[in-house]
């Protein structure tokens, strides 16, 4: 099963992708995580992407399309994948269609996670992750069971993304509305689009996604 989680930054795509990974034995393909790894490694892609990401803008389509096409070819994707953060523009959505057709793969569902902008600002500015295993948390909405200790691995170091600031969030939301939201009708016409209310609690969102996938 190949699924796209589509929604604005902070909608909960990463949080839900991790749950889908576990339950359905899929692989989360987060283009944001891939780019952050490229920036950390200092490779060519990372050098090109860093400033663009810090400004809250989108990395050029050709770079993103090559990145995801190569990743889908890896053997761990054979049972299916969850695209988190891709596609983000109409050319990316069209290129994804062609690459899936070429690779003989099908898209099961596109899940739109609907969340209002004002809520997203709080979600993003309060977000942090375990530096050891990458588990996601929030200052108010998803705290570890024991303060300062990761539920998943027991790690005690946490990090915040350099682009998770109140100013950058505004640019990222503008990019979402101008460049990403317009691809929703494209998937609507194909009959694969299902919307969920991303403003409910994390478990409730998971239940809505499971329903949407089951009904697809
Ligand atoms: P995205 O991957 O779409 O950018 P995340 O999954 O990282 O979003 O979620 C953003 C922040 O909001 C995280 O800190 C996460 O813990 C929190 N969060 C995710 N889903 C919900 C929810 N349904 N209600 C409240 N907070 C949430
Ligand atoms: P994310 O982790 O999904 O919030 O992405 C972080 C940043 O990476 C975005 O603000 C963009 O600068 C860049 N990025 C991630 N995915 C894409 C994509 N599919 N197309 C263009 N830029 C992307």
What does the pLDDT read at residue 120?
Answer: 95
Mean pLDDT of the chain: 96
Respond yes or no: is residue 88 known to be catalytic: yes
Per-residue pLDDT band at 216 (split at 50, 70, 90): low
Nearest C-alpha to atom 26 of ligand 1 is from which residue? 141
Nearest C-alpha to atom 6 of ligand 2 is from which residue? 32
Query: Ligand 1 centre from 150 Cα, in Å?
Result: 16
Q: Which residues line ligand 2 (CB under 6 A)?
A: 9, 31-32, 35, 52-53, 56-59, 64, 85-86, 88, 92, 172
The answer, yes or no, to whether residue 94 has pLDDT greater than 80, is yes
d(CA 183, CA 87): 9
Per-residue pLDDT band at 30 (split at 50, 70, 90): very high
SS3 state at 120: helix
Per-residue pLDDT band at 28 (split at 50, 70, 90): very high
The answer, yes or no, to whether residue 9 has pLDDT greater than 70, is yes
Tell me the per-residue pLDDT of 162-184, one tens digit each, with 9 for 90 and over.
999 999 999 999 999 999 999 99
Respond yes or no: is residue 160 known to be catalytic: no
What does the pLDDT read at residue 62?
Answer: 97
Task: Give just the sign of the alpha carbon dihedral 35, 105, 99, 85.
Answer: negative
Respond yes or no: is residue 190 known to be catalytic: no
* Closest ligand relative to 205 C-alpha: 1
* DSSP at 59: P
What does the pLDDT read at residue 143?
Answer: 96
Nearest C-alpha to atom 8 of ligand 2 is from which residue? 32
Tell me the per-residue pLDDT of 70-85, one tens digit each, with 9 for 90 and over.
999 999 999 999 999 9
Query: Ligand 2 centre from 35 Cα, in Å?
Result: 8
SS3 state at 157: coil
What average pLDDT does range 83-107 have in this prediction? 97
Query: Ligand 2 centre from 59 Cα, in Å?
Result: 7
Which residue is catalytic, options 18, 19, 88, 123?
A: 88
Tell me the per-residue pLDDT of 123-150, one tens digit each, with 9 for 90 and over.
999 999 999 999 999 999 999 999 999 9
Respond yes or no: is residue 161 known to be catalytic: yes
What does the pLDDT read at residue 111?
Answer: 98
What average pLDDT does range 44-64 have in this prediction? 96
Closest CA to 168 of 127, 113, 115: 127
Respond yes or no: is residue 106 known to be catalytic: no
What does the pLDDT read at residue 131?
Answer: 96
What does the pLDDT read at residue 37?
Answer: 95
What average pLDDT does range 10-20 have in this prediction? 97
Q: What is the pTM of this model?
A: 0.96
d(CA 216, CA 214): 6
């Amino acid at each position: 099963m190949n699924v796209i989680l589509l929604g604005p930054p902070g909608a909960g795509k990463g949080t839900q992708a991790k749950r889908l990974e576990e339950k359905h034995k899929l692989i989360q393909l987060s283009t944001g995580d891939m780019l952050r790894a490229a920036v950390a490694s200092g490779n060519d892609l990372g050098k090109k992407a860093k400033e663009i990401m810090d400004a809250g803008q989108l990395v050029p389509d050709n770079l993103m399309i090559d990145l995801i096409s190569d990743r889908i070819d890896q053997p761990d994707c054979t049972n299916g994948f969850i695209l988190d953060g891709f596609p983000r523009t109409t050319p990316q959505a069209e290129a994804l269609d062609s690459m899936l057709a070429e690779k003989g793969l099908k898209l099961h569902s596109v899940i739109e996670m609907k969340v209002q902008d004002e809520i997203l600002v709080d979600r993003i500015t309060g977000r942090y992750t375990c530096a050891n295993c990458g588990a996601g948390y929030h200052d108010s909405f998803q705290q570890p069971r024991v303060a300062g200790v990761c539920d998943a691995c027991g790690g005690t170091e946490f990090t915040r993304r350099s682009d998770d600031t109140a100013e950058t969030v505004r640019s990222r939301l503008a990019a979402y509305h101008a460049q990403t939201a317009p691809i929703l009708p494209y998937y609507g016409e194909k009959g694969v689009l299902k919307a969920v209310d991303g403003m409910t609690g994390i478990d409730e969102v998971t239940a809505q996604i499971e329903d949407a996938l089951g009904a697809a």
